[in-house]
Structure 1
Amino acid sequence: MVSIKDIAKKAGVSISTVSYALNGNPKVTEDTSAKILAIAKELNYVPNAAARSLKTRQTNIIGVFLTNYGGAFYGQLLHGMQEALASKGYELIVCSGKHTHRFLPERLIDGAIVLDIAFSSEEILKHADTGHKIVVMDRELDHPNINQVLLHNRSGATLAMDHLIEKGHRKIYTVTGPQRSYDAMQRLEAVRQAVERYNDIEYSEIPGNFNKPAGEKAAEQIVKEYTRPVGVFCANDEMAIGMYNYLSKTNFRVGEHIHIIGFDNIELSQYIKPRLATIDFSERKWGAVAAEQVLKLIANQPVENERIYTTFIPGDSVREVR
């Protein structure tokens, strides 16, 4: 790999002169600068971003850490982050997997946004202790270098349960999310609290994993146990759509035999028939707020924890039962 030493040798100037020229410093005359830039182009010189960031202690890059890249959820979330960062001169890289965690201690990024259940809280706190700025979207951590931007999961799940009960459902299933997921557990706890307020609810939980196969498997179980119309709260839309997929191959109809509410209001949920009732929030806003907060941390500005509110979107997937 060509270095600035190679350019300096060929140009017959000092390494510092090359560095000034490559960075557009006016200390170097126009003629010398043009000569150095021409040699750099001839030698196919590529700046070492890691070395430059160690010198300036800034990369103008923020890393977002995700559990995986699957599903229809992340598009608007990342778009919101990218827009907010670009307006402040920052770029976004998307990371997944333990090996990418080194980007923080190696200062390849200026800050991190974490929505990754595999990124342990202990490791996040360790990075925060050494001065790294981090926004968490999937857990509650108290540290001066950490900010929380969380969903109002509990209120959303409560809205879903209240709607099912108001529609007359007294046999209700919940298809849960991953046990390690903060969002899933918050939703499940709210569901259980809602059920406790009533004495006449026949309630069951089916383990899920926030994906379509989990929804298909849950639908299979519900069909086998079916004796009367049931209400189902799926902890996300992906599992609700999985239920639709399975039920479409049976004589059971959504909104008549099995009434379904999802969570997330992903774009696909707007087009399936009957329209899926779901819990809505702005993924784009969630991402944008997280990005804005991490930049405030980097700038050492005052910052408060944030909550993203949820609302109920009605649909014909839930109808009144008698």
Structure 2
Amino acid sequence: MAGIKDIAKEAGVSISTVSYALNGSPKVTEKTRQRIIKIAEELNYVPNAAARTLKTRKTHIIGAFLGDYSGSFYGELLKGINQELADTGYELIVCNGPESHRLMTERMVDGALILGHRFTQEQILEFADRGHPLTMLDREIEHPNISCVLLDNQIGMNQEMEAILETNPNQIHLVNGPVGNHDAVERRKVVVDRANAAGVAVREWNGEFTKRSGIRAASELLEVIQEGDAIICLNDDMALGVYDVLQNFSLRIGEDISLVGFDKLEITNYTQPRIASVSYSKPDWGKKAARALLHLIEAKENSKQTIPSKFIKDASIRKKNNK
């Protein structure tokens, strides 16, 4: 395999001149650069990424540290991230395993996007203190090396609660998200506060933002749910789990009881009835998060942004209950 020395010998220039040319340095003329690049291509030269990283202290790799990466939600989010990184010279790797933190500690990535990962607050602050640029999508943290691009849960969740309260529900069954999850906490607060203000009882069920946890919660709440009640799931995966269980139940979604979710996954448009949910642009979230991280890496300036949300009313909400 050809190396820089071989290119220098073929071109009749010094090794440093070849290095300058291949790295885009202004220390060589454009004519010389093009001639050296042509020779490098003819010799099938492949840059040594490890050596380049040692020299520039950059890998040009962005790490997306996610709690999961299955399903349409993460697919759309990653699509937006990739679109923003296109033509920037940065590549994306998705990280999820228990040893993925090593990619940061060993500086194998230039920056990180974090959503739903197992990192604790202390770990994140430790990464930031060591100079790692981070963009948070799942919690707000104040630090010069941290940008935050968070979903505005308030607007969409308040709109959803207005639609549910208009049905005059007997009781609300709230299927929660993971304990301590930023989005779950914000969404739950809106539900509980609005229900308390309206004098509607809320019964809570454990959930983990997974379809399986929605199925488990539905199997439990079937024993107590009554006609006129409403089920609020803090994400669509859980709502889909509840929906599946209720298909074999006497109370009908949209007629006897209401069912709503959050995320407006594409599949909710094909359930019968269609599941009402809070919508927002996952690709735009990914784009803005990637853009904020690149700005933090290149300009050393952090930022805070929010992604707007909107409730999409649909047939899974029953008509007003006349108590």
Q: TM-score of the superposition, structure 1-length normalised? A: 0.86
Aligned to 1:234: 233
Q: Any idea what the Cα deviations from partners look like across 1:17-49, whole Å, max 9, x if unmatched?
A: 77567658869799988777666x4xxx75432
Displacement of 1:106 in angstroms is 2.8
**Cα 1:264–1:6, aligned 2, differ >3 Å: closer, same or farther?**
same
Q: State the partner residue of 2:307.
A: 308
1:67 paired to 2:67: yes
Secondary structure class of the residue paired with 1:224: coil
Amino acid of the residue matched to residue 227 of structure 2? Answer: R
Answer whether contact 2:65 2:117 (CA < 8 A) is retained: no
Per the alignment, residue 221 of structure 2 pairs with 222
Query: Does the 8 Å contact 1:160/1:233 carry over to 2?
Result: no
The answer for the alignment partner of 1:137 in structure 2 is 137
Does the Cα contact within 8 Å between 2:231 and 2:259 map onto a contact in 1? yes
Aligned-residue RMSD, C-alpha: 2.8
Query: Deviation of residue 209 (structure 1)?
Result: 1.1
The AA in structure 2 aligned to 1:75 is G
Once the two structures are superposed, residues 234-255 of structure 1 have per-residue CA deviations (whole angstroms, 9 ceiling, x without a partner) of 0000111111111112333211
The range that moved more, 308-317 or 294-303, is: 294-303
Other-structure match for 1:205: 204
Q: Is 1:95 matched with 2:85?
A: no
Distance 1:102 1:6, change over 3 A: farther
Alignment partner, residue 265 of structure 2 = 266
Q: Give 2:250's aligned residue.
A: 251
2:57 aligns to what?
57
2:303 and 2:156 map into 1 onto residues whose CA distance is 22
Read off the aligned partner of 2:186 and give its amino acid letter.
Q
**Counterpart residue number, 1:285:** 284
Q: Which runs of 5+ in 2 are unaligned?
A: none
Residue in 2 that maps onto 1:186: 186
For 1:264 and 1:32, the matched residues in 2 are separated by 52
CA contact (8 A) 1:152 1:309 kept: yes
Q: How many residues align?
A: 316
- Preserved CA contact (<8 Å) 1:50 1:108: no
Identity %: 41
- Aligned equivalents of 1:300, 1:146: Cα separation in 2: 13
Cα shift at 1:57: 2.3
Contact 1:98–1:119 (CA<8 Å) still a contact in 2? no
Whether contact under 8 Å (2:231, 2:258) holds in the other structure is yes
Which whole-Å CA distance do the structure 1 matches of 2:13 and 2:223 have between them? Answer: 81
Q: Is the 8 A contact 1:67 1:97 kept in 2?
A: no
Equivalent position of 2:108 in the other structure: 108
Give the TM-score of the pair, scaled to structure 2.
Answer: 0.86
Q: Give 1:92 deviation, angstroms.
A: 1.8
Residue of structure 2 equivalent to 1:175:
175
- SS of the equivalent of 1:263 reads coil
Deviation at residue 301 of structure 1 after TM alignment: 5.6
Q: Distance in 1 between matches of 2:292 and 2:35?
A: 44
TM-superposed CA distance for 1:303, in Å, is 4.2
Point out where structure 1 has 5 or more consecutive residues left out of the alignment. Answer: none
Change (3 A) 1:116 1:7: farther
How far, CA to CA, are the matches of 2:36 and 2:147 in structure 1?
Answer: 47
Contact 1:21–1:36 (CA<8 Å) still a contact in 2?
A: no
**TM superposition shift of 1:312:** 0.7
Q: In structure 2, do the counterparts of structure 1 residues 156 and 84 end up closer, same or farther at CA, with 3 Å as the change threshold?
A: same
| Whole-angstrom CA distance in 1 between matches of 2:174 and 2:73 | 20
Question: Aligned partners of 1:291, 1:24: CA distance in 2, in Å?
Answer: 25
